Structure 1
Amino acid sequence: MSTGLTWRDGRAVLSAVHGRRVHEREVVPGTEVGWLLAGPRRCTGAWLVGRDERTPCPHHAEIDPDGGAVQCAPCQSVDRGLALARDQILDDGRTYRLYLAWFGEGLLKVGLTAEQRGTSRLLEQGALAWTFAARGALPAVRRAELTVSSAGLARERFKVRAKLEHWWEHGDADHRRAVLTEARTRAHALLRGHDVELLPEHPVVDHVAVFGLTGGAPAVYHAVEGLADGAVVAGRLRAPVGRHLLLDRADGEPPLLLDTRLLTGWTLTPAVGRPPSGLALVPRARPEAPDTQEALF
């Protein structure tokens, strides 16, 4: 059963479980892949407090084949990551870092991540550029996050669709660096007196080249909006962007964009060489540049 895509030590890794055995495969651009999906789609279990490995779903529960959720309700209720997001864990003894992440013009995000996770959370979110702004215990960093967001400097979340639309046009690295450096300076002014260690010298890290987006996203691609039992996902991998895979098709049709969270929970068997089938696809195209030519008459 697929358990999705994560980033570890700067590498994107697809994982699957068979019983207690975990299988992992690095996402390498240029690789031909193909998977035949078999249902039903099942809950992937939960990450519990105090454990370093995913705990399988004790109910072996089925989940919505087209849904974004990859867990059943009972597993969601005990998952460590979801509990943190809902402020149900006040402190877990770990050190956290406050980050500012840039997803495109006007899309500046503030968030926190456990220091032991390094930069994985920023890569998984598909941040085009980012910097760490502060560090400290969970309660202090969470207060800092709320202070920055309530001041209107950055938001705590953006919808995936908003991020994708900025893959076509994201400015240059100097601009991204300038925006984040200025935002961090403003954040530090807001955080004076907070019980956190400010990080004024942390570099701005750029992921545009890592994600293969230097020239922008493909002008036209087909986004996978739904999967079904018996569907085939196949193509030649491009660089992964966050948790998304771009796959070039052998028939010359526009590339596929797959949010790997949709793949999670399905049983996969190899199907390299087969064409994609059984996919609900939505065409996406680069918006035309606005016509700024003045009227001739």
Structure 2
Amino acid sequence: MAQAWRCSGLRWAAGGPELGWEGGRRTALTWGKRVAFAVEEGGVRTCVGARGHACPVRAVVSGRSTGARCEECARLDRAHSVAADTLADDPRPYRVYLAWFGPGMVKVGITAEQRGPARLLEQGAVCFTWLGTGPLMAARRTEELLRAALRVPDRIPYADKRAVRSVLPATAPERAREVEELHARALALPGWPESLTPAPCDPVDHVPAFGLAQLPPAVGEVTELVAGAALTGTLAAAAGPDLHLRTATGVVVLDTRLMRGWGLVPASDGLPALPLRPFRTSAGTAQDGLF
């Protein structure tokens, strides 16, 4: 019987995207790389735990959950996140950023300065710029200021981000325009926290890092993993947690968060395909790991 691997998620390293595996191994993902796996026959999806700790009851979780956590582990993970506003005494400096995902889709967010641009890559930001740096609560107040004064959201659904990746503006200056305009408006607002140091507008374009240039429109996206089913393709692009795979039927999008919690094995002939739904597009808005 083939060895089963458990995916810990897609990470963005200095050299590009990598799939992580329980035990610490990583598989570098390069354009054109073959990605082929099957879900263990008879397997179930179990909770991945929280904050580096295994789920004490190894709870079974839904195949469609992107969090791959049971209710209790999800609560624990959320309680210790920056987004939960429970880390007011965190002494680290934080950065406020503006991230662009497509026409009309700009969000504001914060990330620890020591993380660099990792958070932007994880979210699938096509273009971004820093807005300022300071203590956590000052960064949080700035984020709230932009939401209230400029109606800039702090979240954009992944489905909306995916829908525009194959129809983005062709040039980096075009992709940076909305971020530049919003950056100027943000700096002109009254009420900025004195402890937050503004940053100049310096847009960073992730189209090359994600491989989005000339990306063909997707025809489908994986809805969930199911025991005994498989997926085979070659990597066309990657953005945030998503892999865009060229398959026999066209480009298919796989949210790698759906892989977590399953036992995965090499794909073999004759297995049914993972369930897909038609892709929603928008016109303007030794075995090294498993593979």
1:269 lines up with 2:265 in the alignment = yes
- Deviation, structure 1 residue 94: 1.6
TM-score normalised to the size of structure 2?
0.87
Shift of 1:191: 5.8
Distance between the aligned counterparts of 2:271 and 2:206, measured in 1? 29
1:7 match: 12
8 Å CA contact retained: 1:232, 1:275: no
Unpaired segments of 5 or more residues in structure 1?
Answer: 48-53, 290-297
Once superposed, what is the RMSD of the aligned Cα atoms?
Answer: 2.2
Q: 1:41 corresponds to which letter in structure 2? A: R
Structure 1 length as normaliser, TM-score?
Answer: 0.85
1:199 alignment partner in structure 2: 199
Q: Does 1:280 align with 2:275?
A: yes
Match for residue 167 of structure 1?
A: 165
In structure 2, the CA distance between the partners of 1:81 and 1:206, relative to structure 1 (3 Å rule), is farther
User: Counterparts of 1:200-219 in structure 2 under 5 Å?
Assistant: 200=200, 202-215=201-214, 217-219=215-217
Secondary structure at the residue paired with 2:87? coil
Alpha-carbon distance, 1:61 to partner: 2.0
Residue 24 (structure 2) pairs with residue 33 (structure 1):
no
Report the Cα offset of residue 69 of structure 1: 2.3
Amino acid at match of 1:199: A
Cα distance, 1:11 vs structure 2: 2.0
- What is the DSSP-based 3-state SS (H/G/I as helix, E as strand, rest coil) of the residue aligned with 1:7? strand
Q: Relative contact order: is structure 1 or structure 2 higher (C-alpha 8 Å, sep ≥ 6)? A: 2
Q: How many equivalent pairs are there?
A: 275
- For 1:41-80, what aligned pairs fall within 5 Å after superposition? 41-47=45-51, 54-79=52-77
| One-letter identity of the residue aligned with 2:189 | L
Task: Return the offset for 1:117.
Answer: 1.2
Which letter maps to 2:180? Answer: T
Q: Select the residue among 98, 105, 112 that pairs with 2:103.
A: 105
Aligned-partner residue type, residue 168 of structure 2: H
What is the CA-CA distance between 1:204 and the residue it aligns to? 0.5
Q: Percent identity?
A: 36
Q: CA deviation at 1:30?
A: 1.2
Distance between the aligned counterparts of 1:77 and 1:148, measured in 2?
28
* Secondary structure in 2 matching 1:14: strand
Tell me, in whole angstroms, the C-alpha distance in 1 between the residues paired with 2:218 and 2:98. 30
Native 8 Å contact 1:112 1:142 kept in 2: yes
- CA gap of 1:181–1:260, structure 2 versus 1, over 3 A, is same
Per-residue deviation at 1:190? Answer: 2.1
